[in-house]
Amino acid sequence: MAVSVDEQSVKRLAYIRMVYEQGVAQAKQPMPMGASSLLSLHDAVEMFLVLASDALNIPGDQRTNFLDYWKKLKVVDLSHALGMRRLNDARNGLKHAGAMPSVETVAQALTDTFAFFDDNVPRVFGVALWSVDVSYVIPQQAVREWTQKASASFEDGKGGAALALLRLALQCILEDQQWPHGTVLARLSRRSMSRPGKLALLFQRAFGESRNHRVGDVARGVEELEKTVAGLREALQWTVLGGNLHHYARFQFLTPDAGFYWSRDESRMEEYLASEWVTQRNPTREEFEFCRQFVVTTALRQADVSAHVALPSWEEDRRSSRGPEA
């Protein structure tokens, strides 16, 4: 008895998948950090059970326990009750009794949760959870569209192009940061950063006619300094966004550098996506999903930071009084 999937349900399924993939990523961390995966996996399953109840118009209340849903949702005959009981016991042991799970317990939880979603999401909605694009949760429209194109490219067998499109989506996030003028965030933004090498080039132009043979050495030193400062500013950006630099390093390693302007020229973009530099990449699903999840997480963090770094109320009022041309 599968129900139709409306837009709101798709968004909730996308969020559920995002939480599930977060749990999968946490499980790969060394213990005891990997233990937190049990909390995310349990949350993802419970949110799906609530969504299924809503979609099937089955009332619930705060007294409904996790395992009660298998009785409440008899109309769809939910499976994998035993596996979810194991997950529930392990999660409760960790959260309420401080019982640290073993590596084997976490691995079993991953297997059980995957099997639960793989079997039960189609039972309720007639579609696989893995077909739901997590990009639905991205608030920035341009970033969401590029990420959706990346997902479509990957499913079409164009893994290299998918990675390049995700690099473009991340570039859109970083370029869209419009911090209030004069703040430290504005000085750290990509918009305020000149390309590395510009100062060195000016130095060479100014002193290139000099007979001093050390001018070239100094220019190269200036260029290296520019690169170092640019790297530090980029690292500080990720610190502001609350990101992990080692995750960003992996993302950079997996995805091809899209260049700074190529996204603004459609013909150049198509040419780039078909280039050997892009097509030679053949990512696994895990690698692609890691990069996509990185974009989604960064987009959400950027939206959260932007909401907290808004213009002061009096500045908003002043701009409003100027009218639309202000």
DSSP character string of 266-277: HHHHHHHHTSHH
Indicate the pLDDT class of residue 258, thresholds 50, 70 and 90.
low
Cβ-based neighbours of 23, under 8 Å, separated by 6 or more: 37, 38, 39, 40, 41, 43, 44, 110, 113
| Mean pLDDT, residues 91-115 | 94
Mean pLDDT of all residues in 136-145? 87
Residue 118 has pLDDT above 90, yes or no: yes
User: Residue 63 has which token pair?
Assistant: 């007294």
- Work out the average pLDDT over 143-158: 91
* Among 36-40, 192-196, 275-279, 301-305, the least confident range: 192-196
Domain ranges of the chain: 7-131, 137-314
Query: What global pTM score does this model have?
Result: 0.69
- Greater confidence (220 vs 102) lies with 102
Whether residue 324 has pLDDT greater than 70: no
> What pLDDT does residue 254 have?
94
**Whole-angstrom Cα distance, residue 242 to residue 254?**
21
- Buried (b) or exposed (e) across 217-226, using 16+ Cβ within 10 A? eebeebbeeb
Place of tokens 């798709």: 10
316 pLDDT band (50/70/90 cuts)? low
Rounded Cα gap, residues 185 and 216, in angstroms: 34
Q: For the residues 76-84, what does the mean pLDDT come to?
A: 92
Query: What is the DSSP code string of 168-205?
Result: HHHHHHHHT--PPTTSHHHHHSGGGPPPTTHHHHHHHH
